[in-house]
Structures are given as structure tokens and as C-alpha cells.
Structure 1
Amino acid sequence: MAAAAYRHLYQGKRWYRLRYKQLQKDPLCCFCADRGVVRPAAVVDHIKAHRGNEDLFFDADNLQSLCKHCHDSIKQQMEKSGVARGCDESGMPLDPNHHWGSYARSAK
């Protein structure tokens, strides 16, 4: 389904209310927070791509707060490749599914 086919979902009051509630609940970017950076969120992102599925689109548990930079870079890259690149200040991968991260978790 083309993106324009479900663009109307972003126009209604239901979405604006849901977006507002998400930003009130989590006003900081969750990707930045994972790296120890405090940055206000400006975008409400769907964790799992909805592809026009209204149940998934309006599911509050499928939302996360991101800054514009993380949404337009890290999140887009994750959707295209399935992997988040980069590491935190300790050198551990940002992607919890990365094999180095699983080694560090099992060593604890």
C-alpha cells in the first residue's frame, strides 16, 4: 500500500490526541536516552510499521517518542536494513539484537 493511501490517518483528531498523549507521557527521545543524551522529542513514531493497518496505527503501545534527527536517520535506517548502527559511550552496540550486545549480557 502506498504511503499516500494512509496519509489521511495522520489528519484526524484521533491521531492528534494520541500523539499529544504520547509526547506528554514520554517527552524525551527514547533513542537519545539510550545513548545517555537528553533531547526533547518532536515526532511520535510507530515502533512496528502500520502499513495502513488502523488497529496498529492507533495502538498506543506501538508508539515511541523520537527527536526529528533520530526519526529521520536511525529509525529510517532500521526500517530499511533491520539493524541500528552505532554504539553508546561504553562502546556497546545500540541494537539490542547485535551479537556483541548479547555477549556482554551473557558475561554479566
Structure 2
Amino acid sequence: MRDRERKARFDKTRPNARQRGYTREWDKARAEFLSAHPICRYCPEPANVVDHVKPHRGDMRLFWSRSNWQPLCTPCHSSIKQSRERRT
């Protein structure tokens, strides 16, 4: 319950997706990247998420650095990647 409350407080102050850089330009770059890298990095499923290997935390240079991108499927992004980030 505390975790849920903490997340709710954080979400109230968090900028929306567009404000965090997920614009039309991102949508285009994401589609191009997934076309070139169609398989999840962690499993053999089709990738549908472009994940930032190192969280960019608002750093737009890191956000746009393709060397910091990896293709993931939603289940791997939502489980494996998120649990790894919580440990750092």
C-alpha cells in the first residue's frame, strides 16, 4: 500500500510523456529502431518497446543516444528491466 501511495504522489508531479521527450519525432525514431531491431533483447518475442538502457532522467542527449536504446517486448520491459532499475 505504501508503494502505491508513493507512486501516486510521484505521478502527480511527473511531467507528461510529451514533456519528457516522447514526441512525434520520438514516435518516428522508435518505429525506425524497432523495424531495424524487431526482436526483444531478453527473449525471442517481437519487440514493441524501445527502452533506454541507462535511464535518461530528463537528459535529452542520453534520451536521443541510439547507443542507449534496446528493443524489448512489453513483458520483459515491465518485469526484467523494471526490477533491475529498482535495484540501482
TM range (shorter): 0.7 to 0.9
Work out which structure has the larger RCO, using CA pairs closer than 8 Å and 6 or more positions apart in sequence: 2
CA distance, structure 2, for counterparts of residue 18 and residue 59 of structure 1: 11
How big is the shift at 1:47?
Answer: 0.4
Q: Which residue does 2:46 correspond to in 1?
A: 40
Paired residue total: 75
Q: Is 2:38 aligned against 1:27?
A: yes
When normalised by structure 2's length, the TM-score is 0.77
Gaps of 5+ in 2: 1-9
Letter in 2 for 1:17: K
Distance 1:50 1:6, change over 3 A: farther
Structure 1 residues 42-81: Cα deviation after superposition (integer angstroms, max 9, x where no partner):
1110001000111111111110000000000000000011
Q: What does 1:6-25 align with in structure 2 at a 5 Å threshold?
A: 7-8=17-18, 9-10=21-22, 12-25=23-36
Structure 1 residues 73-99: Cα deviation after superposition (integer angstroms, max 9, x where no partner):
0000000114xxxxxxxxxxxxxxxxx
Equivalent position to 1:59, from 60, 65, 68: 65
CA distance, structure 1, for counterparts of residue 24 and residue 55 of structure 2: 21
Letter in 1 for 2:69: L
Q: Which residue does 1:5 correspond to in 2?
A: 15
CA distance, structure 2, for counterparts of residue 16 and residue 6 of structure 1: 15
When normalised by structure 1's length, the TM-score is 0.63
**Runs (4+) off by over 4 Å:** none
Distance 1:49 1:57, change over 3 A: same
Using the aligned pairs only, state the percent identity.
40
